[in-house]
Structures are given as structure tokens and as C-alpha cells.
């Protein structure tokens, strides 16, 4: 007699938002086929680990997660970025059942079917139309393309994920529409290089709601903005055409948040050249000043790498000076890690760890002071805040200038209980280095 229980799968999702979207797709497919998700490896019919292979530390975390899943369950399927280099996994864990690379949904599903065949039941297709999401219900990542045409010397993502492959605009818009219908209030647009969207498919038009929409960064942003949710743009490079989206950000009715996440990575021309960064030659300081003239509310977030091979004290000082000038609102910083297979490791001498650490400390102190100054300007203003979490006395949310998980928060006192996903108007009363505090004055 066949087991009447639906098969159970435990799932570990590691890595960036792009990997999270892959996880959501796999889980959606599994749920559509009647699999159940288990909270623990123990007792599940099998475990899936979606790995990240970006940095050595991420690879170590992935290997540890595989080891735990093997110890606690024994039947383990590995997918994600590390799957592109299977020997790194099989060296340590020869007994994993299958290894697949990023976005190989079909192969993951086929491996799952072999280990725990799906239960046949006509009532199992009860998956919500927006799929299964791993983010809270009120925000969702929207992946508009895969892969990348750039060849930054510190990055192995193009090796792992291939060249740029954009989704047709209508596909993206239909997914966004389903998400908004299901209650999503904020769409986080992600890809490896959002501003390059559509280049590979020659900006082809596709049909959405009786009209043709071209696969262009600006056209897609404009249409996403009509859906009634906040739209936040991540991983945008400062190509000249990005200027066109700034007026949309200045128009509160457009739906496009005045927020740009631009990974600048450095400011010294020598380092940028050795990094082979896209749009490295653009005159970014002048552009930033013009963007802020058009859209004074604009929040700029970025990430940087210090201690890149061959970075001199002079390069680093240029970076600090640039930061002072650019006055970026939100900044993250990594100490360079020599990822195996990255061209950057052989470009110049590696910087000793103590120097990297010392530069990181100086960089973060500077960035923190700027963030504090920028946030202070919001004292006394009214900000719209989307609520992420509610507590007994104070709720935690984010303004239009804060992306989930990477930026600061707004702590909100309210005379009536707030709900998760609600957007409240909040009067800002206190500013810290990264966070704001205020009181809800409108609902
Ligand atoms: S833009 Fe550069 S860092 Fe980003 S994915 Fe492409 S190659 Fe890697």
C-alpha cells in the first residue's frame, strides 16, 4: 500500500535575494506537486540546500549547511551557485544525492522525484497564484533578469550564472501584478545589473494589458509604478540612461521610490579600472548632484570593497574623499576576499588582513557619520513608513529610503495598533546613526 502522507522536504536557502527567488520558485513547484515543507531536517523525506558560492566565507557556510543536513537527514540535494563547481561539494560530501547549478529548477525537481515521488492526489494543486514566498507577505523580490554581461575581476557570478538573460517585460509585469493582487505592498526589483535590462533581447516589446511594453529599464519601471505598490530599484549601475528614471522618483504618484541602490565598489580610477567595473568612467559625482537637484528626497545606497589587490593608501584616501563629496545615505563595505577563480587575485599584490581591517574601520566610521548627518535632516518631517513588525508598544518599519534587511529602520509609537504591511504617516522625532524614531500621525 502506498504511504498516504504527502512527502516532506526540508529546505535551507542561503545567499543573496537572487538565490532567494530561486528558492521560492523551487518551493512553489514542490508545493504545486503536493510536497509539504518540513521545519526540520529530522523526519523529512529529504533535504534541499540552496547554496551561495560568492565568497569563500559563503562557500564555507554552504558546506556547513550541507554537513548539517546530511547529519540530521542523510538524503540531501544541493542546488544554487556552489552547484556550478560540484567537485568542491563532492570532495567533502561524496554521499549527497544530486548537485545542480543555479536556476536548474527542472533538475532539482527531477532529483526530488527520484528520492521521494510525488503523491498523486487531484486536490494538491492548491497553491496560491502568487506562488510561495519566503519574504513576509507585504514585500517581494522581483527578478527581472539572470546572469551578467560584465566581467568584474573580483566576481565569478558570470561564470556561475552565465551572460545576461532578461525576462520579457510582460512576464515580469504579470508576476508583479499577481504579487500585488495577493497583498504585496512593496516590490524589490533585483537582477545582477538592473540598468542593463533588456539589452540581450534587444529591448523586445511584449503584450501586457492591451499594450506593448518594451523590455527597457525605464519602460518597465514606469509600468511597475502603475500597480499601486512601492517599487524599489536595486543593483543599478550609473549608465547615462539611469538619469531618465530620476524624474519618476521625484513624482510621488509614480510608485517608483526615490531610492537607488548602486554598487559603486570604489572611487579611485585605478582601482575601478582593475576591477573592470561597468560605467566606471561616468562622472558620478556630477551625476549624483544633478539627481539630487531633480529629486531632493533621493536616498542613495551603495556597497564598496576595501583592500582590493594593489589598493594604495592614496587610492583609499581618494575613496574617502569621494564619499565625503557624494554623501551617500546608506553604505555597506566588504573587505576584499580572494574568491577562488576570480581574476582579481592575480592582478596585483594582495593587501594584508590588518591593513584591510584598518581601512574598513576608517571607511565605516566616515560612512556612519554621513549616514547620521543625512538622517538628521529628516527630524521633524513626516515620512511614509511601511510596517514590518509590530510589538506591544512600538512597531518597526521602513521609510521610502530603507530597503528591507540591508538598511536602517523607523521605530514607530502609535496610539492605535499598527498592522504588518500597513503604510503609516510618521512624524520623525529622533535620529540615530542608522535608525529613526517617531510617532504615527496618519493611517
Ligand atoms: S556587475 Fe560585476 S559584480 Fe555584478 S554580477 Fe556582473 S560581473 Fe559580478
Which ligand 1 atom is at minimum distance from the Cα of 265? 3
**DSSP-based three-state secondary structure for 30:** helix
Which residue has cell 540612461? Answer: 241
Task: Compute the distance from residue 3 Cα to the ligand 1 centre, in Å.
Answer: 47
Beta carbons of 428 and 383 less than 8 angstroms apart: yes
Which ligand 1 atom is at minimum distance from the Cα of 154? 3
CA separation for the pair 290, 296 (Å, rounded): 10
Which ligand 1 atom is at minimum distance from the Cα of 235? 4
Count other C-beta atoms under 10 Å from residue 101's C-beta.
Answer: 21
CA separation for the pair 36, 343 (Å, rounded): 42
Alpha-helical segments (H) within 51-98:
56-72, 86-92
- Residue 152 Cβ contacting ligand 1 at under 6 Å: yes
Of the candidates 107, 129, 108, 213, the one whose C-alpha atom is nearest the C-alpha of residue 167 is 213
Whole-number pLDDT of residue 351: 92
Whole-number pLDDT of residue 122: 39
Across 362-390, b (16+ Cβ under 10 Å) vs e yields ebbebbeebbeebbeebeeeebbbbbbeb
Beta carbons of 189 and 232 less than 8 angstroms apart: yes
Instruction: State pLDDT tens for residues 79-110.
Output: 998 888 888 899 999 999 999 887 777 788 88
Whole-number pLDDT of residue 281: 66
CA separation for the pair 60, 72 (Å, rounded): 18
- Residue 193 Cβ contacting ligand 1 at under 6 Å: yes
CA separation for the pair 191, 17 (Å, rounded): 9
Cα dihedral angle (331, 64, 84, 112), rounded to 10 degrees?
A: -120
- Which residues of the chain register pLDDT less than 50? 1-2, 121-126
Beta carbons of 215 and 197 less than 8 angstroms apart: yes
Distances (CA, A) of 243 to 58, 222, 301: 34, 14, 16
Whole-number pLDDT of residue 47: 95
- Residue 342 Cβ contacting ligand 1 at under 6 Å: no
* DSSP assignment string, 36-56: EEESSSTT-SEEEEEE--SSH
Whole-number pLDDT of residue 121: 47
- Residue 81 Cβ contacting ligand 1 at under 6 Å: no
HSE value, Cβ hemisphere, 13 Å, CA-based, for 37? 17
CA separation for the pair 262, 239 (Å, rounded): 11
Cα dihedral angle (272, 277, 278, 279), rounded to 10 degrees?
A: -10
Count other C-beta atoms under 10 Å from residue 150's C-beta.
Answer: 17
Task: Compute the distance from residue 341 Cα to the ligand 1 centre, in Å.
Answer: 14
Which ligand 1 atom is at minimum distance from the Cα of 278? 1
CA separation for the pair 136, 120 (Å, rounded): 30
* 414: Cβ contacts below 8 Å, ≥ 6 apart: 395, 424, 439, 440
Q: Whose CA is nearest to atom 2 of ligand 1?
A: 152
- Residue 261 Cβ contacting ligand 1 at under 6 Å: no
Q: What share of the chain is helix, strand, coil (3-state, %, to 5)?
A: 35, 25, 40
Phi-psi region of 210 (alpha: psi -120 to 50; beta: other; left: phi over 0): left
CA separation for the pair 399, 382 (Å, rounded): 10
Task: Compute the distance from residue 194 Cα to the ligand 1 centre, in Å.
Answer: 11
Of the candidates 434, 357, 439, 341, the one whose C-alpha atom is nearest the C-alpha of residue 394 is 439
Q: Which of 156, 164, 165, 192 to mutate to test the pocket of ligand 1 (most atoms within 8 A of CB)?
A: 192
CA separation for the pair 157, 160 (Å, rounded): 5
- The partner residues of 165 in beta bridges, in order of sequence, read 146
Helix or strand holding residue 372 (H, E): helix 353-376
Beta carbons of 292 and 330 less than 8 angstroms apart: no
Which ligand 1 atom is at minimum distance from the Cα of 237? 1
Beta carbons of 307 and 260 less than 8 angstroms apart: no
- Residue 305 Cβ contacting ligand 1 at under 6 Å: no
- Residue 148 Cβ contacting ligand 1 at under 6 Å: yes
CA separation for the pair 154, 161 (Å, rounded): 15
Instruction: State pLDDT tens for residues 125-176.
Output: 445 555 667 777 799 999 999 889 989 998 888 888 889 999 999 999 999 9
Amino acid at each position: 500500500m502506498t504511504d498516504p502522507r504527502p512527502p516532506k522536504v526540508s529546505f535551507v536557502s542561503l545567499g543573496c535575494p537572487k538565490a532567494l527567488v530561486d528558492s521560492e520558485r523551487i518551493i512553489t513547484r514542490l508545493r504545486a506537486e503536493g510536497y509539504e515543507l518540513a521545519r526540520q531536517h529530522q523526519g523529512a523525506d529529504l533535504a534541499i540546500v540552496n547554496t551561495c558560492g560568492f565568497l569563500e566565507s559563503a562557500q564555507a557556510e554552504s558546506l556547513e549547511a550541507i554537513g548539517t543536513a546530511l547529519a540530521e537527514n542523510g538524503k540531501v540535494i544541493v542546488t544554487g551557485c556552489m552547484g556550478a563547481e560540484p567537485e568542491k561539494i563532492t570532495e567533502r560530501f561524496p554521499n549527497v544525492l544530486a548537485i545542480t547549478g543555479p536556476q536548474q529548477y527542472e533538475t532539482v525537481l527531477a532529483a526530488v522525484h527520484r528520492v521521494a515521488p510525488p503523491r498523486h492526489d487531484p486536490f494538491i494543486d492548491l497553491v496560491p497564484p502568487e506562488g510561495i514566498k519566503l519574504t513576509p507577505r507585504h514585500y517581494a523580490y522581483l527578478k527581472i533578469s539572470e546572469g551578467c554581461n560584465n566581467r568584474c575581476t573580483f566576481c565569478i557570478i558570470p561564470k556561475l550564472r552565465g551572460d545576461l538573460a532578461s525576462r520579457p517585460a510582460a512576464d515580469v509585469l504579470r508576476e508583479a501584478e499577481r504579487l500585488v493582487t495577493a497583498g504585496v505592498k512593496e516590490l524589490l526589483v533585483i537582477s545582477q545589473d538592473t540598468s542593463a535590462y533588456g539589452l540581450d533581447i534587444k529591448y523586445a516589446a511584449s503584450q501586457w494589458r492591451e499594450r506593448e511594453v518594451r523590455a527597457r529599464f525605464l519602460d518597465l519601471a514606469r509600468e511597475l509604478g502603475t500597480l499601486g505598490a512601492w517599487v524599489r530599484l536595486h543593483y543599478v549601475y550609473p549608465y547615462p540612461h539611469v538619469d531618465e528614471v530620476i524624474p519618476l522618483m521625484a513624482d510621488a504618484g509614480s510608485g517608483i521610490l526615490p531610492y537607488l541602490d548602486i554598487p559603486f565598489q570604489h572611487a579611485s580610477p585605478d582601482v575601478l579600472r582593475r576591477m573592470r567595473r561597468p560605467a566606471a568612467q561616468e562622472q558620478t559625482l556630477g551625476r549624483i548632484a544633478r539627481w539630487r537637484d531633480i529629486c531632493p528626497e533621493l536616498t542613495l545606497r551603495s556597497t564598496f570593497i576595501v583592500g582590493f589587490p594593489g589598493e594604495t593608501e592614496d587610492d583609499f584616501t581618494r575613496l574617502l574623499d569621494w564619499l565625503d563629496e557624494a554623501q551617500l545615505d546608506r553604505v555597506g563595505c566588504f573587505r576584499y576576499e580572494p574568491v577562488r577563480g576570480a581574476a582579481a587575485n592575480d592582478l596585483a599584490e594582495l593587501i594584508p588582513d590588518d591593513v584591510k581591517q584598518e581601512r574598513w574601520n576608517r571607511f565605516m566610521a566616515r560612512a556612519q557619520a554621513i549616514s547620521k548627518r543625512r538622517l538628521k535632516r529628516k527630524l521633524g518631517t513626516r515620512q511614509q513608513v511601511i510596517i514590518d513588525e509590530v510589538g506591544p508598544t512600538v512597531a518597526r518599519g521602513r521609510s521610502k529610503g530603507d530597503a528591507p534587511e540591508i538598511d536602517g529602520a523607523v521605530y514607530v509609537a502609535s496610539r492605535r495598533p499598527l498592522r504588518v504591511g500597513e503604510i503609516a504617516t510618521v512624524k520623525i522625532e529622533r535620529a540615530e546613526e542608522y535608525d529613526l524614531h517617531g510617532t504615527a500621525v496618519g493611517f
